[in-house]
Every structure is written in C-alpha cells, then in structure tokens.
C-alpha cells in the first residue's frame, strides 16, 4: 500500500471504523460479509526463527517449497530468500512498478497485484523477469494481498473515499473473473493473504493481528497478535507461517506456546 497517502486518510478511517471485538459476532453487519465466529479464539504462536533481511518496502510473501519470495513494493524487486540464512539468492523484476503480492498458479505462471496500475496480472517467469500473460483491471480499487488456493484466487481490495477507505476480499476463478465479493467491515487495513490448505490467513497492517478465516462461511475463526509493527507479508510453508513487516525482518511462526 502507498502508506503516506493512506496515513493522510487514517483520521477519517478511525472516525468511522467499527472496532473489532472478539466478545461476539454481533458487530458484523447482516448479509454476506466477513464476520467473527462466536467461538473465535486466540491462537498461541511463537517465533521459531528470525532472519535478518535487507531493509526495503516489504509487502507480500510466497513460499516456493524451499525459499521465500519477498515482494518489495514502491519500485522494488522481488527477492528470493534462502530460509536457512536469510541471504537474498536472486532478484526478480516484477511486471510493474508497485507489486503488492505474488502467488503461484501451479502451472508455471503466477498471479501478481499492482497497486498503482489497479490490476491483477497473470505472468510467467523469463530470465528473472515476470512477463505479463494477461491482466484484469480492478479500478477504482487498489489490489493488495493475493493467494491462489488451487481453485480460487483471493484478492484484497482497498477503495478510497472521502470518509475513509472501504475494504473487501474478492474471489476469482483462474481467468481472474470475479465470482464473489466479501466486504471486510470490522478489520482495518487488511494487507496480505496465505492459504494453509484449509483456511485463509490475513494480516492487518493497522490492527497488528493475523486472522484465520473459514472461506466456507466467511467467518474469522481464530487470530493471533503480531508483535511486529506494520505487519504485511504472510506465507505458509506446509507446517508454519512466515511473517514480515513494512521495514522488518522475516519471522517463522510456529503454533503452540
């Protein structure tokens, strides 16, 4: 996200936001929107590993099975990071100038979101450069986090207005056609997404929380608090979650006390 601009409207957001509470799900509005499950619980996590990575404008994460890809928005490149050392082993040039997220389609192509262009791209990797295959516009929305779960693409959208910013999650098919749009009214500044095989995980830059979402019911069924200021990227490696922050390091999070 373009933080300086978002900061300028944050007073408007704070004045109109519905506070997120885990006491009950009654704060969620009627209709199909992201709600809080009545049995939503706080999840115990711990930092299993911290990797020092170069300072930049960190956004989304993607785990390719052995390495972490770290997206740097605002003109930055995508870093491929060795998870044993934190070393940047290679750099990938993105499709456009402000990449928010990257997620693999599973057929050799990738989906990326571009904040300034207000587009979602499908791209292929050619000699350390992503080349667009197709794209769709989500204007006037700005796309943020994205994740492909094997059958659906989920993308976070930000819509700016005079009274603040509205947020939603759109569900797309493999051709990037919108199938469903879920308003996110009780979480401010949702940022990036991960998929663990069963649940969607979403970070909040504003709340400094990570939410576990059941997409069958569109309910938040769990959450944990992030101790990293301005938490952004999140990825699932098959056993644990990885997190980063706007100017932070890379953290492997394991479940349990």
Q: Using an 8 Å Cβ cutoff, are 80 and 250 in contact? A: no
Average pLDDT of 172-191? Answer: 96
What is the Cα gyration radius of the chain?
17
Rounded to whole angstroms, the Cα distance separating 116 from 176 reads 18
How many domains are there within the chain?
1
Give the per-residue pLDDT at 155: 98
pLDDT tens, position by position, 63-79: 999 999 999 998 899 99
pLDDT of residue 1: 64
Task: Give the domain extent around 213.
Answer: 3-255
> Apex CA 228: angle with CA 48 and CA 82, to 5°?
50
**Chain segment 214-231, per-residue pLDDT in tens:** 999 999 999 999 988 899
Is residue 31's pLDDT more than 90? no
103-126: per-residue pLDDT in tens?
A: 999 999 999 999 999 999 999 999
CATH number at residue 182: 2.120.10.30
């Amino acid at each position: 996200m373009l933080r300086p601009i978002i900061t300028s409207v944050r007073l408007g957001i704070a004045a109109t936001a519905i506070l997120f509470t885990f006491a009950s799900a009654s704060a969620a509005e009627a209709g199909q929107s992201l709600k809080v499950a009545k049995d939503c619980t706080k999840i115990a996590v711990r930092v299993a590993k911290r990797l020092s990575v170069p300072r930049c404008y960190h956004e989304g994460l993607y785990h390719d099975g052995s390495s972490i890809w770290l997206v740097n928005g605002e003109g930055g490149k995508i870093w491929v990071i060795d998870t044993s050392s934190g070393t940047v082993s290679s750099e990938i040039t993105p499709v456009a100038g402000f990449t928010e997220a990257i997620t693999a389609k599973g057929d050799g192509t990738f989906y990326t979101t571009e904040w300034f262009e207000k587009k979602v791209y499908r791209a292929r990797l050619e000699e350390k450069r992503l080349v667009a295959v197709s794209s769709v516009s989500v204007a006037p929305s700005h796309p943020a986090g994205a994740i492909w779960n094997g059958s659906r693409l989920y993308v976070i959208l930000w819509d700016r207005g005079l009274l603040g910013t509205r947020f939603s999650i759109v569900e797309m098919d493999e051709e990037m056609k919108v199938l469903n749009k879920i308003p996110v009214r009780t979480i401010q500044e949702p940022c990036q997404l991960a998929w663990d095989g069963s649940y969607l995980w979403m970070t909040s830059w504003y709340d400094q929380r990570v939410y576990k979402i059941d997409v069958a019911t569109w309910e938040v069924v769990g959450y944990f608090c992030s101790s990293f200021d301005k938490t952004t990227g999140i990825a699932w490696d098959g056993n644990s979650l990885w997190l980063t922050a706007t100017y932070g390091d890379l953290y492997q999070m394991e479940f349990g006390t």
